[in-house]
């Protein structure tokens, strides 16, 4: 009994020491008037630093309701890898006035990432900088790789966004899918959509149209050809937003990249064992992040 109690005490102490080795800092990075508050977590010893590049929408540093970014952070820190994520410019209420006045283009998100990288460039706590771009962030990270050592694309599109949007909307409604195709054609040809069906206003409202125009102009299959650093392409086979085919197309465009398809992982990086849990995991932190995802990324960084 004494031996068991002693072992328990030593084990508990070791765990406490392990947790204590991960330090945390709250950092706000400014891109002119735009404020990007974030959280840096890092081990005591020098380590690689992963910087997260968000997908579309107003995503905060933790990944909103499903908390997938926080789950990623906690797992990656346990593997002696530092991590920084920030509230996207569209997630920080302090930026609202500037966003309303100036609008948003895809280049603005690229500029934000470059400012974040510049902040950590030369920081002697970190041995290298890795950008991990998720969903829309895959393309944004792809265009912000100055002073970056490795690039990870997670659930990144392998086609222009107009094709992705038509496919995603069509999966919900063939009628609205056809309308989406018509609107995108009009947007590409004239730069605006004159009249929008109320059911599609969340996508095609007037303030969104310049942003969509700037996004449609970019082809990930062309942009990835400019990437010259080690590249990892990841997609989950339970992703209902981005197809495995997208990752395969990125691989064809950049043959030297490493491609890994994660079994049972969905778009918000959760391990999905039941089909009915796929959508539910978008709204809950109760679903675990894919362990295979973490293993794949850790191996890529440490090799």
What is the pLDDT of the chain when averaged over all its residues?
Answer: 92
The tens digit of pLDDT for each residue in 37-67 reads: 999 999 999 999 999 999 999 999 999 999 9
Residue 99's pLDDT band (boundaries 50, 70, 90)?
Answer: very high
Mean pLDDT across 164-174: 94
Assigned token pair, 79: 């593997």
Are 268 and 239 within 8 A, CB to CB? no
pLDDT for 78 beyond 60: yes
Mean pLDDT across 145-155: 98
Residue 152 β-bridge partners: 132, 232
pLDDT for 9 beyond 70: no
Residues 6+ apart with CB under 8 A from 226: 142
Task: Determine the pLDDT at residue 269.
Answer: 98
Tell me how far CA of residue 76 lies from CA of 79, 271, 283, in angstroms: 5, 16, 22
Share of the chain above pLDDT 90, in %: 91
pTM: 0.91
Task: Determine the pLDDT at residue 5.
Answer: 35
Query: Phi and psi for 128 in degrees, rounded to 5?
Result: -160, 165
Domains detected in the chain: 24-160+218-302 (3.40.50.1820)
Mean pLDDT across 167-188: 95
Assigned token pair, 30: 């400014």
The tens digit of pLDDT for each residue in 178-199 reads: 999 999 999 999 999 999 999 9
Q: pLDDT: is 113 or 17 the higher one?
A: 113
Are 244 and 235 within 8 A, CB to CB? yes
Mean pLDDT across 106-127: 97
pLDDT for 163 beyond 50: yes
pLDDT for 12 beyond 50: no
pLDDT for 147 beyond 60: yes
Task: Determine the pLDDT at residue 18.
Answer: 42
The tens digit of pLDDT for each residue in 256-267 reads: 999 999 999 999
Q: pLDDT: is 99 or 15 the higher one?
A: 99
pLDDT for 19 beyond 80: no
Residue 21's pLDDT band (boundaries 50, 70, 90)?
Answer: confident
pLDDT for 17 beyond 50: no
Task: Determine the pLDDT at residue 53.
Answer: 98
Are 218 and 160 within 8 A, CB to CB? yes
């Amino acid at each position: 009994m004494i031996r068991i109690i002693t072992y328990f005490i030593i084990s508990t102490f070791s765990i406490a020491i392990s947790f204590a080795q991960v330090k945390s800092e709250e950092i706000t990075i400014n891109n002119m008037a735009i404020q990007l508050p974030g959280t840096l977590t890092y081990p005591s010893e020098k380590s690689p630093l992963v910087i997260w590049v968000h997908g579309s929408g107003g995503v905060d540093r933790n990944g909103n309701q499903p908390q997938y970014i926080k789950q990623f952070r906690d797992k990656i820190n346990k593997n002696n890898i530092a991590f920084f994520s920030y509230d996207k410019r569209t997630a920080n209420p302090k930026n609202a006035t500037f966003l309303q006045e100036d609008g948003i283009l895809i280049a603005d998100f690229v500029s934000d990432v470059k400012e974040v990288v510049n902040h950590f460039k030369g920081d002697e706590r970190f041995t290298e900088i890795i950008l991990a771009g998720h969903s829309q962030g895959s393309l944004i990270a792809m265009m912000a790789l100055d002073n970056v050592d490795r690039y990870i694309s997670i659930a990144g599109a392998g086609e222009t966004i107009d094709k992705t949007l038509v496919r995603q909307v069509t999966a919900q409604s063939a009628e609205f899918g056809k309308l989406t195709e018509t609107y995108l054609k009009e947007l590409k040809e004239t730069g605006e959509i004159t009249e929008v069906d109320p059911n599609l206003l969340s996508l095609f409202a007037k303030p969104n149209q310049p942003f969509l125009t700037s996004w449609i102009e970019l082809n990930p299959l062309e942009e990835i050809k400019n990437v010259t650093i080690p590249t990892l392409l990841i997609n989950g086979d339970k992703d209902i937003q981005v197809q495995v085919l997208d990752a395969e197309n990125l691989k064809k465009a950049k043959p030297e990249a490493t491609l890994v398809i994660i079994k049972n992982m969905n778009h918000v990086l959760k391990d999905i064992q039941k089909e009915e849990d796929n959508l539910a995991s978008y709204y809950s932190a109760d679903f675990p992040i894919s362990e295979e995802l973490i293993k794949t990324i850790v191996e890529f960084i440490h090799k």
